């Protein structure tokens, strides 16, 4: 596909190398198999994690402890190429690096960092992030999971839901109410009272492990607490990190759908010529490319702001809101161009389209990000 605006000309040499390396990994290790993974509702996390770690993709934007220490735009480019394979693949990397490793790196104790970060960076240990609950998603301040002091220990009770990597994780970063406010806990998943059953019968993100987490009198030492943060700013800062990866990642899903639609339109013959030669199809493709290019430019701009240390949560909300909606619109248009073939896993479009329905909702629904921008514009909160 011709990059008409030459958006990738903005990449540095190192960023191009990351792009090409991740694209090669996806081409070799993911694309030949992901349709089957999606159909069978499996994700080979243990098999892929070491390969992802070897390339430095796990916690790649963090410094030290075996992490690659790349700039934010490089992380974004990697997320774009991963999600061009599948949203489940990008979600695995995003949860590992931005939601599980980042809070330990940012708020953890030296011993927590030394124990977990090198193993997580290599892919030999997998992490998950527990914030959303069955009854509290967009309003985490109302969470019911509670940790109570018991001598020098903590007793954790409650549940979390829609947790990526939960059933395969070695460690969970769990956020809970305490008498002192919301605190984060580093919970090894072999701790008695911890369980993580997988959620089945999903029609989206099928090539991804999604679980519930249950805590039944889970006893944790005081050393399990993340010592450097109290309150919701802890988990919300992690979500900003992950949302940055999402706003880049969905550009990859949109590109994969557009490329599939263009290729199909050039070879599918109706009424004596390829359907790409009809004005209605070309109009669809043109607007799809406009949406893709605008999303790419948004991602690059926000990457530049993050690299300069100037990115704000409301700017991340803009990117997540705009880019996910654009990607979903592109996927839906691509599905229409492919006709009946658009609903088969022989092509990537329906897989990306259904995945994006989840991406639209997770890590801040479209409605919540709309309200973030509304408050920024008016100075008035509409949450309560």
CB 214 within 8 A of CB 164: no
Separation between Cα atoms, residue 157 and residue 155, nearest integer Å: 7
Separation between Cα atoms, residue 261 and residue 271, nearest integer Å: 18
Tokens representing 176 are 């809970």
Contacts of 235 (CB under 8 A, 6+ apart): 103, 129, 131, 140, 175, 182, 184
Separation between Cα atoms, residue 325 and residue 366, nearest integer Å: 8
Q: Please report which helix (H) or strand (E) contains residue 19, including its range.
A: helix 13-29
- Give the number of other Cβ atoms within 10 Å of residue 23's Cβ: 18
Separation between Cα atoms, residue 96 and residue 169, nearest integer Å: 9
> What is the DSSP code (8-state) at residue 251?
H
Q: Please report which helix (H) or strand (E) contains residue 218, including its range.
A: strand 210-221
Nearest to 372 by CA among 176, 143, 138: 138
Tokens representing 337 are 């161009």
Tokens representing 199 are 């959620």
- Give the number of other Cβ atoms within 10 Å of residue 287's Cβ: 13
Residue with tokens 């960076």: 121
> What is the DSSP code (8-state) at residue 379?
S
Alpha helices in 101-232 (DSSP H): 102-107, 110-122
Considering 363, 366, 367, 375, which one is annotated as catalytic?
Answer: 363
* Active site annotation includes 366: no
- Give the number of other Cβ atoms within 10 Å of residue 86's Cβ: 29
Catalytic residues: 363
């Amino acid at each position: 596909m011709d990059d008409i605006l030459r958006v990738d000309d903005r990449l540095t040499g190192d960023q191009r190398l990351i792009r090409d390396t991740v694209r090669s990994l996806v081409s070799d290790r993911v694309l030949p198999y992901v349709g089957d993974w999606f159909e069978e509702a499996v994700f080979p996390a243990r098999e892929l994690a070491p390969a992802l770690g070897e390339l430095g993709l796990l916690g790649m934007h963090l410094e030290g402890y075996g992490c690659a220490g790349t700039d934010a735009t490089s992380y974004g480019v990697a997320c774009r190429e991963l999600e061009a394979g599948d949203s489940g693949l990008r979600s695995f990397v995003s949860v590992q690096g931005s939601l599980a490793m980042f809070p330990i790196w940012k708020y953890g104790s030296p011993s927590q960092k030394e124990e977990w970060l090198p193993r997580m960076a290599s892919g030999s240990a997998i992490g998950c992030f527990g914030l959303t609950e069955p009854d509290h998603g967009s309003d985490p301040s109302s969470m019911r999971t509670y940790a109570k002091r018991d001598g020098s220990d903590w007793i954790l009770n409650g549940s979390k839901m829609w947790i990526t990597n939960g059933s395969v994780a070695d460690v969970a970063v769990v956020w809970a109410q305490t008498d002192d406010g919301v605190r984060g806990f580093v919970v090894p998943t072999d701790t008695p009272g911890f369980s993580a059953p997988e959620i089945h019968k999903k029609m989206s993100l099928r090539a991804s492990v999604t679980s519930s987490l249950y805590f039944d009198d889970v006893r944790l030492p005081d050393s399990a607490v993340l010592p450097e943060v109290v309150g919701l700013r802890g988990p919300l800062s992690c979500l900003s990190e992950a949302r940055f990866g999402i706003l880049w990642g969905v550009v990859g899903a949109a590109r994969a759908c557009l490329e599939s639609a263009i290729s199909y339109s050039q070879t599918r013959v109706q009424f004596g010529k390829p359907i790409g030669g009809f004005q209605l199809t070309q109009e669809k493709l043109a607007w799809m490319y406009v949406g893709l290019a605008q999303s790419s430019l948004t991602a690059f701009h926000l990457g530049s702001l993050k690299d300069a240390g100037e990115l704000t949560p409301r700017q991340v909300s803009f990117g997540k809101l705009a880019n996910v909606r654009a990607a979903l619109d592109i996927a839906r248009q691509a599905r229409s161009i492919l006709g009946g073939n658009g609903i088969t896993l022989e092509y990537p479009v329906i897989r990306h389209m259904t995945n994006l329905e989840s991406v639209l909702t997770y890590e801040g629904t479209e409605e919540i990000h709309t309200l973030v921008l509304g408050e920024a514009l008016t100075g008035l909160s509409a949450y309560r």
